Chain A
Amino acid sequence: EELVESGGGWVQSGGSLRLSCAASGFTFSIYSMNWVRQAPGKGLEWVSYISSSSSIIFYADSVKGRFTISRDNAKNSLYLQMNSLRVEDTAVYYCARDVSRCSSSTCYENWFDPWGQGTLVTVSS
């Protein structure tokens, strides 16, 4: 089970980047996925969530209206389109699989596992 991010790099403030996360070793299409970021020297910040069928999507307030999460289950891939980038978006971006404990049709606790190795996004003013 592996997740590999790509697409990070350097961009000027106001610019755009598209991150990708390639999944392998598990049935990608049945899992919800997340993006989490970590600014240099800082803690973890959850960014966005997408359900397995893309029917449910959530964003952190800090990126709402600027970032778009999507997925292509046929390609086992997760994406994060980042527009109107700001200096404060500078971070390592991780994708992480959302795992739940489910019984019958009801799901309970959930957690993130595994995580990708991360891709660095640097936004310069």
Chain B
Amino acid sequence: DIQMTQSPSSLSASVGDRVTITCRASQSVSNYLNWYQQKPGKAPKLLIYAASTLQSGVPSRFSGSGSGTDFTLTISSLQPDDFATYYCQQTYSSPPRTFGQGTKVDIK
């Protein structure tokens, strides 16, 4: 099975900061990589699919990049609504459709 490792596991940042979250796959997943945002007590929400395509309705401050084994989610200017946990997911080799362990973004 492909393992997905996110870093960092958590980070503290201020409104307006540029935030970068990394996701690394244990083997190539091509661009079959998605990013989700989850707020406490809520269901995950799709942010980016196919590594770099922004889901409709998602603010343009979110962007994704990468291919193969190394991927990045960037928030260009952190907003109060962005404090949440972010998960990457690979769907290249499935089953299983593996998620990363999550990165919690909280207020500094």
Q: Which of A14-67 contact B (CB under 8 A)?
A: 34, 36, 43-46, 49, 58-61
Measured CB to CB, the residues of B under 8 A from A are: 31-32, 34, 36, 38, 42-46, 49-50, 55, 87, 89, 91, 94-102
- Distance in angstroms between the alpha carbons of A117 and B97 in the assembled complex: 20
Q: Which of A100-125 contact B (CB under 8 A)?
A: 101, 108-118
Question: Given A49-B94, A101-B50, A111-B89, 7 other A-B contacts at CB below 8 A?
Answer: A43-B87, A43-B99, A58-B94, A112-B46, A112-B97, A117-B42, A117-B43
Q: CB distance A46 to B99 under 8 Å? A: yes
Instruction: Kindly state whether residue A79 has any CB partner on chain B within 8 Å.
Output: no
Q: CB distance A111 to B46 under 8 Å? A: yes
Q: CB distance B98 to A46 under 8 Å? A: yes
Q: Which residues of chain B come closer than 8 Å to A109, judged between CB atoms?
A: 31-32, 49-50, 91
Q: CB distance B44 to A44 under 8 Å? A: yes
- Distance in angstroms between the alpha carbons of A110 and B97 in the assembled complex: 10
Closest CB in chain A relative to B64 CB, distance in Å: 12
Residue in A46, A99, A114 with the greatest tally of chain B CB atoms within 10 Å: A46
Q: CB distance A46 to B46 under 8 Å? A: no
Q: CB distance B101 to A43 under 8 Å? A: yes
Q: CB distance A112 to B89 under 8 Å? A: yes
Q: CB distance B97 to A115 under 8 Å? A: no
- Distance in angstroms between the alpha carbons of A117 and B43 in the assembled complex: 5
Q: CB distance A46 to B95 under 8 Å? A: yes
- Distance in angstroms between the alpha carbons of A116 and B43 in the assembled complex: 7
Partner of B34, one of A34, A58, A112: A112
Closest CB in chain B relative to A110 CB, distance in Å: 5
